[in-house]
Amino acid sequence: MKNHTTFVINPAAGRGRVGRMLRQLEAAIVRHAQSSDAEIVVTQAPGHATQIAQRAAPGSRVVAVGGDGTVHEVLRGIAGSDKAIGVVPIGSGNDFARMVGLHKLPLEAALRTALYGAVRSVDLGVVNHRPFGASLGIGFDAAVARKALSAPTFLRGMPRYLYSIFAVLRELELPNLELIQGNQVLYQGPSLLVALMNGSTYGGGIPIVPDALPTDGLISAAVAGSFSRLGVVGILPQLLMGKHVHHPRLHFFHGTEFVVRFDRPVPAHSDGELLEPSHEYRVQMIPGGLRVVQSGA
């Protein structure tokens, strides 16, 4: 049977790599789509992918060609519908693709999978009524991502990231957190960061909650408690290698719903996209709430 498939190509993804590959991508899609009904739309600006996904036909496939930001925008456009999301991961991070096992596919295989692969369901996260796919990070890491936006323009890649980490550390003042499940307070006290995960990684492969599964119907939460500046510098390398889980100031929880409340507005990102800082994040997981083209080209 023919699937209608819309390829949503973000030319800005992968630091402009997708834009440079545009002709190659369009030719490859046309070549592979022979027995399928496919169209290609190139995004014009941030937010455009959501509109394209909203306009796609009921029951069709909408394929994000780019990174986690593109996936997140497409997902916002299809959440709650019977449309399925596909991914051709050419971003810098690709944590959603990693979550659904598509991140290692070569380009041609990823395109074939998007067109002809089987559709499966994974859980869908929701934060303050807004859907997310793989991750929600609140606190330190979101503050670093915000800081990177205003870092000097001559800094790029890792130097920009390191600059932002140390700029946030310089002014580090931990908010007080209450993590609530139902009528139970699970954690109360100063907190460096809270991660509420569907997949196990964020930030381009950082395994913050290594055992998180996108099909268990649960949010896998990690709370980093009270850390000094030096403590943060010490835990970062462990975090990158997934060796942080036994640290006494890290706490892990699972559940279908959490309320994350602070004594002041705290920045957050979902799938790497920054949200407006808030005092309160209401987070839930909708089991099987998202249809994803996953495998079997």
Ligand X SMILES: Nc1ncnc2c1ncn2[C@@H]1O[C@H](COP(=O)(O)OP(=O)(O)OP(=O)(O)O)[C@@H](O)[C@H]1O
In this complex, which beta carbon is closest to ligand X, that of residue 138 or of residue 218? 138
Query: Shortest approach of ligand X to residue 202 CB, angstroms?
Result: 10
Using an 8 Å Cβ cutoff, are 15 and 204 in contact?
no
Contact status: 16 vs ligand X (CB under 6 A): no
Q: Does 43 bind ligand X (CB under 6 A)?
A: yes
Angle value at C-alpha 287, between 82 and 245, nearest 5 degrees? 135
| DSSP type of residue 12 | T
Residues in contact with ligand X, counted by CB under 6 A, come to a total of: 24
Taking CB atoms, the residue at the shortest distance from ligand X is 67
Bridge partners (DSSP) of residue 222 are 195, 252
Tell me the per-residue interface mask from 239 to 278 with ligand X, x by CB under 6 A, - otherwise.
---------------------------------xx-----
Residue 138 pairs in a beta bridge with 194, 268
Please say which residue, 14 or 199, places its beta carbon nearer to ligand X.
14
Establish how many alpha carbons lie within 13 A of residue 84's alpha carbon, considering only the half-sphere containing its beta carbon.
Answer: 24
Stretch that binds ligand X, among 65-73, 148-156, 245-253, 258-266 (CB under 6 A): 65-73
Question: Can residue 93 be called a binding residue for ligand X (CB under 6 A)?
Answer: yes
Which of 24, 46, 118, 257 binds ligand X (CB under 6 A)? It is: 46
Q: Let me know: does 210 contact 177? Beta carbons within 8 Å.
A: no
Instruction: Report yes or no: 144 and 236 within 8 Å, Cβ to Cβ.
Output: no
Q: What is the DSSP letter of 202?
A: B
Q: Is 10 in the site for ligand X (CB under 6 A)?
A: yes
Region near ligand X per CB under 6 A, out of 44-52, 137-145, 182-190, 281-289:
44-52
Cα distances (Å, whole numbers) of residue 114 to 22, 62, 297: 17, 9, 8
The binding site for ligand X (CB under 6 A) comprises 10-15, 43-46, 48, 66-70, 73, 91-94, 204, 272-273
